[in-house]
Structure 1
């Protein structure tokens, strides 16, 4: 289920029931109880859905020993409880509900904020306690349908359940109380002495996971706000411990309201406007510490108009814009979002087979030749046909861009930013349609395609702010008698030569940086993904970019790309692709051709052969998950993907056993199916090349897994390849040195950490890398000695986010500043200094100038 997840509820249920049905049958035969646990919030709706399907299955519909866990710290707990009660009544056979507070508060809070999603849990302890009591009442009021188990060490929560049960006249021992073995022993004894039904639970299984579980419980029960800590260790008074959490919540709300009213009446702060008040997490008694932060009136007005534009991080509003934040990914655990994606597929499929011309200036140019864009999952499905640019078309496109240069560079930077952010707005409005098109044309699974769209939006928003910073002249020195201005100005025509693997994100990133800096662009997309590139050109023009400032030139490398590189009127070349092509571009761009009066600025990103070190004290669960994402997400077709795994010898066997078993769970299939994790590769040439590397891997290493695509996928005729893991691969093996760009993983054994670092650094590429370790000393050493552009610690090495992990490599992985970073736009401008002597016959008139 964790491999499928809520993005594919039907497939998840089918896969789970294959394994669960024998267990359920045996439990029914033995009269045993089966409890479905609840983990993180993203799986909540799926877990409830599976539980209901099990309970409605004719084989188990009348079985009374089925139960599920409900977490009271979720904001949705009451709604979930009501739905569960209604369903249980319809089923006719009672179910058991184990009511807990919830064990993953830190994870849920941090994860939601990192994703830009609403926090799903109550953020103050008294709110969770109050929720627990409300849900307890709901279940006890519906005792005929739900049998309640109170799993808590909080005396107030336990007493509340006991008192309610007695007041409602329920039979004795109607409520079960559950306590963890080894904790709250006096509480357990007291409950037994009072005649209550008590169940003691403890983890069962392997030692290390069990210890981890107990440590987590121990941390919860000894945290600052824990009832056990405050009651037994800190001697808090019973009156304070047993206060009604609903009353505590009410008092906290009153204090917050009073503070806000007082702040509104206070004089405006230095930044203008009334201060905003935010509360910190409250203590058990509800006392709060208010934090006052000044917010300017225009920010408050903008927030009211566009609340989604605010949030995240940043020092404050910049030039009238809100602080930057990443565009949130789509949460596919929400059914409405899945429905929108399905509807988007229908819309995109209704437009398949259309023809798309070149866009040169304000002309729509048809050509004799064409490019047919295939669906990699099903090549006989043609996404669209585009015109095929030849050298003469490239020359015309450059001429159109050159003619538009003066007007576009003269457009105030604020207006350019407004236009580009209009494009970002259009992308937000069409994000599902764009993602569906990427899925079909490029072969990306749902989440990867959605991430492509959000990254494109992020690039525009980030570079817009960068351009505003660069657009204002900087006064140097500030001495009386002269004015020195340091300025950034556009360079000229930019040729944007983009790859197919991020067909919208990278094309948008390179082109938006050029455009917002004042340079007209010629978009030369990869021939494998020209239709999504046409949609981008349309969006730019719809947003307000003049026709000549955006030209669309689909074509093959030698026919369209090479003439752009060679053109004397091209000032900037931004390229992402293979090392061979990138180095060729650098050589060609260095040649000064007749009529050329500038040195071309070349920005390249040229791939990687990325390694992850698995230290001998690594958390293997985290390490295996990180390697799976890094190596096999999008079939390994990312320049950041992991292709070398270096494992210390002491943990090697345990890691390999888990890695192989976890990889077997990955689903290979067509990109449009939500359960697909590994989609096909981009084209037949890539498929054949990867198969040759797999064949070579059998000679250079030991194959531990070659997982073939299922027959139903092969029947579609798509470009599917096996998942391949080879172990004991020598560091000088071809599969360990060359970029494969596919789901092929080389695993190497290191005798110690020194050798692991040495192997990791022994590569011409230096793009991404990572380590899984719990040793602060080794992590610190890897920070200094593992020399790559993007180094990740205890997480996957793919999925960099604009403004958070600027992306780009060292060595032969590329040139220039990292994309999505503070310096990237500087590559699309040139600097000038203007000095004016302001001394006039002994008098200086620049005292107030800047």
Structure 2
């Protein structure tokens, strides 16, 4: 594939003519495509195109804007298998997961299309009988969307479609690890005949292409999903500009809590899904399994036994459960934390690591690493996000202790509780700090019509679904007086 930027309705090379390669992490000798490597000038051109297109786009009715999303969905459906294979090849996700990524993108676009004919405001009662009061939303302007590689199809659509529906225009920078999937999204919008400049695409690195978008004075909103380090910089930059709003989703150190009365068969299967889907490279992956001490031995034995049976390999093989890590740097990071766990006193139950035999030699394949460790504040592996198949089993005695352990991290994204007692589930729901919670389910599997966001280092709480409609707009109050006299609220005199 020949990846280009998309600016003002045209596919163009980067201003400097530079390019970079996108490779298959399961076969790193396979080049999937060469892609435009952009700089500040490219980003500025894209923002200028979006700003120029804004007056026309916001002037369309919300229903007409929604119809473009409907055509966008039809464009995706016409090539679902092709897109799925591209997601699997470029992101290293098992085929079933890659298809779910595409379907999730379809669902979000459909959900936003459905909102096109729903109310975008309210009639609000006034205390004055001769007044009518209204609330409605206005689009903010140019929205920058910076998305990650691990959900390269769904997450951009989470962010782009609410922005477009409400009348904003968008500049989109996909991850440098999955640029071709990002390009495919824009191709589908082009097939939907989206007007020029309404959606613009800039490929490249965060520093050279993304950061100029974040700091550009004509960008009103920044929507970001990625690491805390980058997200915190974006938040700081936006706070310094009185015009900018932002939503940042920045990872997690998520936990499953397996209580004394848990159905262990159910809990073990859910733990495998939570820990090892996408090779542990999800912001909602559970890297901490809090297990009641009376069930620890039984749970640990079953969990390790099931983890040993996981099939690791080419994502396009339908038998594969776990594909590769995304890059060499990701492998080095996971390897570092595996070694650190041993240094910090972990009891290793399954010593995973780099797979280098046979077909695994061609990719960034890593097997599960599982260990047992009592909770400690000074254990880095129990507090820092690893983003790989690295899992700690942590015993607890009481619900109070489980809550304390769960909350004793700087993140607060996903939580799962396994118990047959609704009172216990309710207590943990109320006292644990999280944004996305589950009862007797894995920590993965969010649906598009539900809010998705976290607390603390995990983010600002509104990176997707209907709450994002408020972030990319500003609410306007409009009050109409029908009397021939001025009548004021709160008993304020109108006498002059």
TM range (shorter): over 0.9
Cα deviation digits, residues 397-416 of structure 1 (max 9, x gap): 10000000000000110000
Q: 1:490 touches 1:519 (CA, 8 Å); kept in 2?
A: yes
1:779 aligned onto 2:425: yes
Which among 371, 378, 383 is matched to residue 20 of structure 2?
A: 371
Q: 2:93 touches 2:323 (CA, 8 Å); kept in 1?
A: yes
Q: 1:579 touches 1:813 (CA, 8 Å); kept in 2?
A: yes
| 1:582-661 matched pairs, under 5 angstroms | 582-592=231-241, 599-661=243-305
Q: Per the alignment, in what secondary structure is the counterpart of residue 629 of structure 1? A: helix
Q: Report the Cα distance in structure 1 between the residues aligned to 2:262 and 2:476, rounded to whole angstroms.
A: 51
What does residue 548 of structure 1 align with? 197
CA shift, 1:439, in A, is 0.3
CA shift, 1:422, in A, is 1.0
What does residue 181 of structure 2 align with? 532
CA shift, 1:509, in A, is 0.9
Q: 1:729 touches 1:736 (CA, 8 Å); kept in 2?
A: no
CA shift, 1:476, in A, is 4.2
Q: 1:664 touches 1:707 (CA, 8 Å); kept in 2?
A: no
1:357 aligned onto 2:4: yes
Q: Report the Cα distance in structure 2 between the residues aligned to 1:758 and 1:472, rounded to whole angstroms.
A: 42
CA shift, 1:807, in A, is 1.6
CA shift, 1:467, in A, is 4.5
Q: Report the Cα distance in structure 1 between the residues aligned to 2:374 and 2:252, rounded to whole angstroms.
A: 18
Q: 2:47 touches 2:218 (CA, 8 Å); kept in 1?
A: yes
Q: Report the Cα distance in structure 1 between the residues aligned to 2:381 and 2:412, rounded to whole angstroms.
A: 16
Q: Report the Cα distance in structure 2 between the residues aligned to 1:491 and 1:783, rounded to whole angstroms.
A: 35
Q: Per the alignment, in what secondary structure is the counterpart of residue 548 of structure 1? A: coil
CA shift, 1:677, in A, is 0.6
| 1:265-344 matched pairs, under 5 angstroms | none
1:495 aligned onto 2:148: no
Q: 2:403 touches 2:428 (CA, 8 Å); kept in 1?
A: yes
Q: Per the alignment, in what secondary structure is the counterpart of residue 453 of structure 2? A: coil
Which among 544, 564, 585 is matched to residue 213 of structure 2?
A: 564
Q: Report the Cα distance in structure 2 between the residues aligned to 1:420 and 1:494, rounded to whole angstroms.
A: 17
Q: 1:731 touches 1:737 (CA, 8 Å); kept in 2?
A: no
Which among 720, 738, 747 is matched to residue 365 of structure 2?
A: 720
Instruction: Give aligned pairs, total.
Output: 481
Q: 2:370 touches 2:390 (CA, 8 Å); kept in 1?
A: yes
Runs of 5+ consecutive residues of structure 2 not aligned to the other structure: 487-496
Q: Report the Cα distance in structure 1 between the residues aligned to 2:333 and 2:284, rounded to whole angstroms.
A: 19
Q: Residues 698 and 519 from structure 1, CA distance in 2 versus in 1: closer, same or farther, beyond 3 angstroms?
A: same
1:696 aligned onto 2:346: no
Q: Report the Cα distance in structure 2 between the residues aligned to 1:577 and 1:729, rounded to whole angstroms.
A: 29
Q: Per the alignment, in what secondary structure is the counterpart of residue 801 of structure 1? A: coil
| 1:70-109 matched pairs, under 5 angstroms | none
Q: Per the alignment, in what secondary structure is the counterpart of residue 748 of structure 1? A: strand
Runs of 5+ consecutive residues of structure 1 not aligned to the other structure: 1-353, 593-597, 843-850
| 1:131-150 matched pairs, under 5 angstroms | none
Q: Report the Cα distance in structure 2 between the residues aligned to 1:775 and 1:671, rounded to whole angstroms.
A: 39
Of 726-735 and 648-657, deviating more is 726-735
Which among 479, 483, 488 is matched to residue 835 of structure 1?
A: 479
Cα deviation digits, residues 53-99 of structure 1 (max 9, x gap): xxxxxxxxxxxxxxxxxxxxxxxxxxxxxxxxxxxxxxxxxxxxxxx
| 1:486-525 matched pairs, under 5 angstroms | 486-525=135-174
What does residue 730 of structure 1 align with? 375
Q: Residues 586 and 841 from structure 1, CA distance in 2 versus in 1: closer, same or farther, beyond 3 angstroms?
A: closer
Q: Report the Cα distance in structure 1 between the residues aligned to 2:182 and 2:463, rounded to whole angstroms.
A: 23
| 1:361-440 matched pairs, under 5 angstroms | 361-367=8-14, 368-440=17-89
What does residue 792 of structure 1 align with? 438
| 1:422-461 matched pairs, under 5 angstroms | 422-461=71-110
Q: Report the Cα distance in structure 1 between the residues aligned to 2:441 and 2:301, rounded to whole angstroms.
A: 20
Which among 740, 749, 758 is matched to residue 395 of structure 2?
A: 749
Q: Report the Cα distance in structure 2 between the residues aligned to 1:533 and 1:464, rounded to whole angstroms.
A: 20
Cα deviation digits, residues 473-531 of structure 1 (max 9, x gap): 63543965333221101000000000000001001110111111110000110000000
Q: Per the alignment, in what secondary structure is the counterpart of residue 427 of structure 2? A: helix
Q: 1:497 touches 1:561 (CA, 8 Å); kept in 2?
A: yes
| 1:667-686 matched pairs, under 5 angstroms | 667-686=311-330
1:666 aligned onto 2:310: yes
Q: Report the Cα distance in structure 2 between the residues aligned to 1:687 and 1:425, rounded to whole angstroms.
A: 38
CA shift, 1:560, in A, is 0.5
Q: Per the alignment, in what secondary structure is the counterpart of residue 98 of structure 2? A: helix
1:711 aligned onto 2:360: no
Q: 2:121 touches 2:135 (CA, 8 Å); kept in 1?
A: no
Cα deviation digits, residues 538-589 of structure 1 (max 9, x gap): 1112112212011010110110111011100000100000011101001111
CA shift, 1:435, in A, is 0.8
Q: Report the Cα distance in structure 1 between the residues aligned to 2:478 and 2:138, rounded to whole angstroms.
A: 12
Q: Per the alignment, in what secondary structure is the counterpart of residue 351 of structure 2? A: strand
Q: 2:328 touches 2:364 (CA, 8 Å); kept in 1?
A: yes
Cα deviation digits, residues 810-831 of structure 1 (max 9, x gap): 12211142522x4221111111
CA shift, 1:463, in A, is 2.3
Q: Report the Cα distance in structure 1 between the residues aligned to 2:125 and 2:463, rounded to whole angstroms.
A: 27
Q: Answer 1 or 2: which has greater helix percent.
A: 1
Q: Report the Cα distance in structure 2 between the residues aligned to 1:613 and 1:816, rounded to whole angstroms.
A: 22
Q: Report the Cα distance in structure 2 between the residues aligned to 1:673 and 1:710, rounded to whole angstroms.
A: 18
CA shift, 1:809, in A, is 0.8
Q: Residues 478 and 389 from structure 1, CA distance in 2 versus in 1: closer, same or farther, beyond 3 angstroms?
A: farther
Q: 2:139 touches 2:168 (CA, 8 Å); kept in 1?
A: yes
CA shift, 1:658, in A, is 0.6
CA shift, 1:777, in A, is 2.6
| 1:210-229 matched pairs, under 5 angstroms | none
Q: 1:729 touches 1:746 (CA, 8 Å); kept in 2?
A: no
What does residue 455 of structure 2 align with? 810
TM-score by length of 1: 0.55
Cα deviation digits, residues 278-297 of structure 1 (max 9, x gap): xxxxxxxxxxxxxxxxxxxx
Q: Report the Cα distance in structure 2 between the residues aligned to 1:555 and 1:373, rounded to whole angstroms.
A: 11
